[in-house]
Amino acid sequence: MAEIEQKLSAMGLELPDPIMLPPGVKLGIRWVRVLGDRAFVSGHAPLAQDGSLAYPLGRVGVEVTQDEAYNAARLAALAMLASLKSALGDLDRIMAWLRVFGMVNTGGQFNAYPLVINGFTDLIVEVFGPERGQHARSAVGMAGLPFNIPILIEAEVLIRSSP
Amino acid sequence: MAEIEQKLSAMGLELPDPIMLPPGVKLGIRWVRVLGDRAFVSGHAPLAQDGSLAYPLGRVGVEVTQDEAYNAARLAALAMLASLKSALGDLDRIMAWLRVFGMVNTGGQFNAYPLVINGFTDLIVEVFGPERGQHARSAVGMAGLPFNIPILIEAEVLIRSSP
Amino acid sequence: MAEIEQKLSAMGLELPDPIMLPPGVKLGIRWVRVLGDRAFVSGHAPLAQDGSLAYPLGRVGVEVTQDEAYNAARLAALAMLASLKSALGDLDRIMAWLRVFGMVNTGGQFNAYPLVINGFTDLIVEVFGPERGQHARSAVGMAGLPFNIPILIEAEVLIRSSP
């Protein structure tokens, strides 16, 4: 088994099924846009195992607690890895995480956005190690996210060109 | 006539005049920053034919309807194409749309941001075709956009180096 | 002395000490992620000389005035230059500023975000000159920023590979 998938497996983590959009939503985008040695990754939501949007929905600090939001950011990382595996064939082709933009659905007084997006970063750094996994990042509060998801995360990664 | 401009023309689309900033606004930025095979595109607003900000202004779901916002996202695509033509000389130099970040001025309960930013994506994919046109994308709700525009969209594209 | 540092010195500007996070905050990110000829720069807050968050905190147009916010954006530029110096060894390795994303903590009616983020752009263009310094940029209003800072700015720059 490939190195990164072995690591995920050893951590007891499973990648979700491909993204299922809410009924009636059609998007002409790509979840991962690969070109040369770069993969640009669309904003990913936290997903349930079957690829549907994970619960709870809502604003962090209002309908969603900080701990739930940290876990949602972990789920967004797993959703992104599932999309990357589908686009790249093999997660071992990911040489470096470059840039991560972590967006938190906000509404009240809560503003510890970096502690929420750590759910994403902690998982990626554990799976890929600090040299490949550590990235530049912003973690910010949004007035709204699609379909009231609590978290949305986009990224850019360096990849090994296909053999 | 160049391929992409021919396509725009066949679709009955016209590019707006260069961006006219509101009175008193001076910006030391570039609408398109070209370097090697990459063009980084600043956030573009929907423009009227004369390059001024298109109406209606306001928050989507409050002062601006979803249909008006979809159309505003189309206008932002045309504004971006006008800036790219001015920077690159020829739109045929655009080899691939890589990353799009679509921002929607929000305020009420509306959160179908992806359906609004589809106005941009649908036009780009129709003009460039899916292979060149499909991109990674996030579509999100902002607490505010400059001068109360309903939509702001930034992008990164792969270009053919100048001959 | 190196060219860019000489220029900063001639302008009477001093880079702040390394970023001091608020108590209890631990981040597995990199302030600057360098790979090949690119440096991806995490969102930077305005810093005081000792590396702590600069005052005032709050929303621009509510607790923070436009002039204070312009100055905060200058301080964010200096904080970013300090991180880049630490990551690159020498600021003269910065060949071009490519993309800047300027985020303004917002809440009231204020929406002249570009005039605020000009505090960053004006300083960078003065220090690096228009050819190297001018960048693609978006300047937008956020529902919240970490720890209630008024401004957060991320960037991507082209660098000369290490000799």
CATH code of the domain containing A72: 3.30.1330.40
| Facing C135 at nearest CB: one of B33, B43, B103 | B33
Average pLDDT over residues B89-93: 96
Average pLDDT over residues B125-145: 98
**Which band of pLDDT confidence, cut at 50, 70 and 90, is reported for residue B131?**
very high
**How far is residue C134 CA from its own chain's centroid?**
14
Phi-psi region of A148 (alpha: psi -120 to 50; beta: other; left: phi over 0): left
**Cβ <8 Å between A32 and B136:** yes
- Evaluate whether residue C3 is within a structural domain: no
Query: From the CA of C150, how many Å to the nearest CA of chain B?
Result: 14
Listing DSSP states for B18-66 in one string gives SP-PPTT------SEEEETTEEEEEEE--B-TTSSBPSPPS-BTTTB-H
Average pLDDT over residues A101-114: 95
Chains touching B, CB cut-off 8 Å, 3+ pairs: A, C
**Which band of pLDDT confidence, cut at 50, 70 and 90, is reported for residue B22?**
confident
Query: From the CA of B122, how many Å to the nearest CA of chain C?
Result: 22
**Cβ <8 Å between A27 and B114:** yes
Range of the domain at C134: 29-159
* pLDDT tens digits, A38-80: 999 999 999 999 999 999 999 999 999 999 999 999 999 999 9
**Cβ <8 Å between C136 and B31:** yes
- Evaluate whether residue A145 is within a structural domain: yes
- Evaluate whether residue A9 is within a structural domain: no
What are the chain C neighbours of A156 within 8 Å (beta carbons)? 40
What are the chain C neighbours of B111 within 8 Å (beta carbons)? none
Regarding beta strands A151-159 and A38-44, do their DSSP bridges make them parallel or antiparallel, or are they unpaired? antiparallel
Average pLDDT over residues A118-128: 98
Query: How many structural domains does chain C have?
Result: 1
Residue listed under structure tokens 């100055």: C71
**Cβ <8 Å between B144 and C110:** yes
What's the confidence (pLDDT) of residue C22? 87
Q: Virtual CA dihedral for C139, C142, C144, C148, nearest 10 degrees?
A: 30
What are the chain C neighbours of A134 within 8 Å (beta carbons)? 28-30, 33
Q: Alpha helix locations (H) across A43-65? A: none
What's the confidence (pLDDT) of residue C24? 87
- Evaluate whether residue A151 is within a structural domain: yes
**Cβ <8 Å between A114 and C32:** no
Q: Which residues contact C6 (CB under 8 A, 6 or more apart)?
A: none
Rounded to 5°, angle at Cα B31 from B122 and B89:
80
Task: Report yes or no: C99 and C135 within 8 Å, Cβ to Cβ.
Answer: yes
What's the confidence (pLDDT) of residue C1? 64
Query: From the CA of A128, how many Å to the nearest CA of chain B?
Result: 23
What are the chain B neighbours of C96 within 8 Å (beta carbons)? 33, 35
- Evaluate whether residue A54 is within a structural domain: yes
**Cβ <8 Å between C98 and B40:** yes
- Evaluate whether residue C87 is within a structural domain: yes
Average pLDDT over residues B46-56: 97
Whole-model pTM over 0.95: yes
Give the residue from A25, A26, A27 with the most B CB atoms within 10 Å of its CB, the best one to mutate: A27
Task: Report yes or no: C88 and C42 within 8 Å, Cβ to Cβ.
Answer: no
* pLDDT tens digits, A20-36: 998 889 999 999 999 99
Residues of chain A in Cβ contact (below 8 Å) with chain C = 96-101, 104, 106-107, 110-115, 118, 121-122, 125, 130, 133-143, 156, 158
Query: From the CA of A7, how many Å to the nearest CA of chain B?
Result: 27
Task: Report yes or no: A101 and A155 within 8 Å, Cβ to Cβ.
Answer: yes
Q: Check pLDDT > 70 for residue C160.
A: yes
What's the confidence (pLDDT) of residue A161? 82
Q: Check pLDDT > 70 for residue B1.
A: no
Q: Closest residue of B to A25, CA-based? A: B115
Q: Check pLDDT > 80 for residue A163.
A: no
What's the confidence (pLDDT) of residue C54? 97
What are the chain B neighbours of A145 within 8 Å (beta carbons)? 111, 113, 140-141
Query: From the CA of A125, how many Å to the nearest CA of chain C?
Result: 7
* pLDDT tens digits, C111-145: 999 999 999 999 999 999 999 999 999 999 999 99
What's the confidence (pLDDT) of residue C163? 57
What's the confidence (pLDDT) of residue C108? 85
What's the confidence (pLDDT) of residue C150? 98
What are the chain B neighbours of A40 within 8 Å (beta carbons)? 98-99, 135-136, 156
Q: Closest residue of C to B153, CA-based? A: C138
* ipTM attached to this prediction: 0.96
- Evaluate whether residue B144 is within a structural domain: yes
What's the confidence (pLDDT) of residue B24? 87
Give the residue from A111, A115, A156 with the most C CB atoms within 10 Å of its CB, the best one to mutate: A111
| Facing A141 at nearest CB: one of C32, C142, C156 | C142
Q: How far is the C-alpha of C120 from the C-alpha of C115, rounded, in Å?
A: 10
What's the confidence (pLDDT) of residue B120? 98
**Which band of pLDDT confidence, cut at 50, 70 and 90, is reported for residue A84?**
very high
Give the residue from C137, C148, C153, C154 with the most B CB atoms within 10 Å of its CB, the best one to mutate: C137
**Which band of pLDDT confidence, cut at 50, 70 and 90, is reported for residue A1?**
low
The whole-chain average pLDDT of chain B stands at 96
